[in-house]
Homo-oligomer: A and B are copies of this chain.
Amino acid sequence: MPLTTGNIHLVKPHKTSCQQCDAYHQCICAGVDPQVAATIKPMSVQRGPLLAGDFLVRQNDRFEAFYLIQSGVLRSETASYKGRRRVKWFYFPGDLIGMEAISSKQWPADISVIHKTCICEIPADKFTRAAQHYPQIQQQLFSRFGERILNQEYSLSTDFSEAATARLLEYLLQLHKRLQGTGFVSGSQLALPMTKSELASYLGMSAETLSRVLNKLEVKGLIDNQLQSIDLLDRTRLAETLEHAQR
């Protein structure tokens, strides 16, 4: 039975303990001692379920809280010149939302829901005060921040030539690894929570180019390209293809 993105992570909101959270093993809580994690819980408010299309925050909104995703998928999106919209980031269960807003104290983009989402809302001041008090939490936060910088900066995303294939493969392979253990991954199969158009926008290419690149990879027998999912049939050869596709 093929994976679908519907009905994945149908979470009952308002879980009473972090350990019961679907994203527990990806959460900041999992990286700290249970008694430390227990101090986070009371400062958080659970929100959700938010439905597809709902906005979590709007561009230029005042930044007041971080969000930890329990379940669901979200997308940030900015409008550029002449009304074109560009997807800037996808957020998955366990992700921390807010790092992009902390310095300017306002949200740089709309963030909206792709799949029914439940989140932990943690007021920014409380969270940073907790980081003050608990080294492990501060450590976790710095680590998250650093990871985001590393991924952004040392990806292929800023390359031009022959970039389409490389960028796509890099992202798909990274996603497949990142979503291990969630309902989005089953064996070599990766359920795509976003539409192909959205993925194309995120990757900075036209939907047509994405379609053609996927087709090319499918003809080579490297992937099985479905509407809502992609099967990364031979990840070793895909990684090789990635190596060669970059310049």
Contacts and interface: CB of A to CB of B under 8 A. Distances in A.
Given A132-B138, A159-B204, A154 B78 contact: yes
- The bracket for how many chain A residues form the interface is 35 or more
A102 interface: yes
A159 B131 CA distance: 36
Contact of A108 (B129, B145, B154, B158): B154
A108 B160 contact: no
A205 interface: yes
Given A132-B135, A142-B102, A143-B102, A204 B158 contact: yes
Interface string A114-152: 000000000000001101100100110111111111101
A89 B246 contact: no
A104 B142 CA distance: 11
A4 B94 CA distance: 49
Interface string A80-111: 11101010110000000001111110001100
Nearest to A156: B80
A247 B201 CA distance: 12
B150 A149 contact: no
A170 to B, nearest CB: 12
Contacts of A149: 99-100, 145, 148-149, 152
Is chain A's interface secondary structure helix, strand, loop, or mixed overall? helix
Interface in A194-247: 204-205, 243-244, 246-247
B139 A128 contact: yes
A80 B138 contact: no
A157 interface: yes
A168 interface: no
Interface of A: 78, 80-82, 84, 86, 88-89, 99-104, 108-109, 128-129, 131-132, 135, 138-139, 141-150, 152-154, 157-160, 163, 204-205, 243-244, 246-247
26 contacts: A80-B247, A81-B244, A81-B246, A99-B145, A101-B150, A102-B143, A102-B146, A103-B142, A103-B143, A103-B145, A108-B150, A108-B153, A108-B154, A109-B154, A128-B138, A132-B135, A132-B138, A138-B138, A145-B149, A149-B149, A152-B153, A157-B157, A158-B158, A158-B204, A159-B204, A160-B205
Nearest first, the 5 closest Cβ-Cβ pairs linking A and B are A103-B146, A102-B146, A145-B145, A103-B147, A152-B152
